Amino acid sequence: MGTLMFTSIDYRYPTEHRTLAITVAVMVVALLITTSATLGAMLMFLLLGFGLNYLVIRTKVEGLKRSAVRIGPTQFPEIKAIVDECVNRIGVPIDTEVYISQSPVLNAFAVGVGRPYAIVLHSALVQALDEDELRYVIGHEMGHIKFGHTGLLTLVGQLGSQTSGIPLVGDLIRYGFLFWMRATEFTADRAGLVACGRLEKAIATQLKLGVGPELASRIDLRELARQARESQGSPLGALGEMESTHPMMTTRIQKIVEFAFSDIFRRVCPDGDTSFRDAVHWYPPPTPSLTTPNVACPNCRRPLLRPMAIFCPHCGIRLRCSQCQEPVEATWKVCPRCGNRLTQMTA
């Protein structure tokens, strides 16, 4: 893959800005209504909180130099090469530092209000991922830096910690903050896909983070996609996700697949590889427009005008069962869901 990417293209998840604006508005209104202090005193309190939050983050970045190993030309040079690739593809400051910290938890995070930003990779994560999967994780964290999430977290996080002692107001602020946090994760997942350029590896990384590296290889993606569709209509499942700072694994995979087959991904990552056959099971639902190609055939990679097409109009391969719309493999004789006999188009 080339290193010249369209880093100026904004592929941010579409609801992130709107969610942030609503979140901040709700927080500010709630604070203004419920506070018993004067406006000046409240602003001084918030400014003090911002200052302390900034100091904590800067202290954390400096502390990494004493508690973690910084990746460089002579320190894990193979990972340094991956970091340099991601810097070029995502478009973050060249002085962004990446550290490895000992931890058995598969995790990574980015911190920083200004340059130099820092990314921390847990040792267990580095050991569990291959090079492309590591590109995805590093690109994900660089996405948080590129789109200003690490800096905004200092501001919004401070507002989100204010509840004014009233539970209902505190819940409104907290839930608004969590909506924005989940939107930033979708944006960062997009950056991760741009960094690694391979849809198969982006999904594989999500599976390893979800169930661990040893069990991930045993997952049937077709069955997992069916499980995800079953949970989409559950109000209780949606409420459970509202309690989390991160979207659920199946939700993230669905959003990654949708982005991979979008026009904007083809613009920002023209050399991206989306030829992952199991992605057919995660195709987005039909849209009102039948003229905008937003899904590609997994066989010939040419665009499909209908996201839920039964056959590819270009190569003729069967994509779905004509009776129940279940995604199917080209070699299958019957649909495993409804038993309908499957036929292939003939040339």
pLDDT in tens, 196-214: 999 999 999 999 999 999 9
- Could you give the CA distance from residue 260 to residue 303 in angstroms, rounded to a whole number? 12
Domain range summary for the chain, segments of one domain joined by +: 16-282, 287-347
Residues of the chain with pLDDT under 70: 1-6, 31-53, 154-173, 233-234, 236-237, 280, 283-295, 301, 305-307, 344-347
- The confidence score (pLDDT) of residue 41 equals 60
Rg (the chain; Cα; Å): 22
CA angle at 286 for the pair 284 and 292, rounded to the nearest 5°: 95
pLDDT in tens, 243-256: 788 999 999 999 99
- Whole-Å CA distances, 51 to 162, 170, 258: 15, 22, 39
| HSE (side-chain half, CA atoms, 13 Å) at 58 | 9
Q: Is 127 helix (H, G, I), strand (E, B) or coil?
A: helix
Pairing of strands 118-122, 97-101: parallel
- The confidence score (pLDDT) of residue 104 equals 95
Name the one residue in this structure whose structure tokens are 């910690």: 161
Q: What is the mean pLDDT of the chain?
A: 81
- Could you give the CA distance from residue 190 to residue 15 in angstroms, rounded to a whole number? 13
- Could you give the CA distance from residue 10 to residue 293 in angstroms, rounded to a whole number? 20
- Could you give the CA distance from residue 27 to residue 20 in angstroms, rounded to a whole number? 11
- Could you give the CA distance from residue 178 to residue 172 in angstroms, rounded to a whole number? 10
Name the one residue in this structure whose structure tokens are 């045993």: 218
Q: What six digits make up the tokens of 13?
A: 């998840």
Q: Is 68 helix (H, G, I), strand (E, B) or coil?
A: coil
* Predicted TM-score (pTM) of this structure: 0.72
Cβ atoms of 87 and 143 closer than 8 Å: no
- Could you give the CA distance from residue 51 to residue 154 in angstroms, rounded to a whole number? 9
Q: List all residues 6 or more positions away from 337 whose beta carbon is below 8 Å from its beta carbon.
A: 321, 324, 326
- Could you give the CA distance from residue 117 to residue 47 in angstroms, rounded to a whole number? 22
- Could you give the CA distance from residue 154 to residue 344 in angstroms, rounded to a whole number? 56
- The confidence score (pLDDT) of residue 42 equals 56
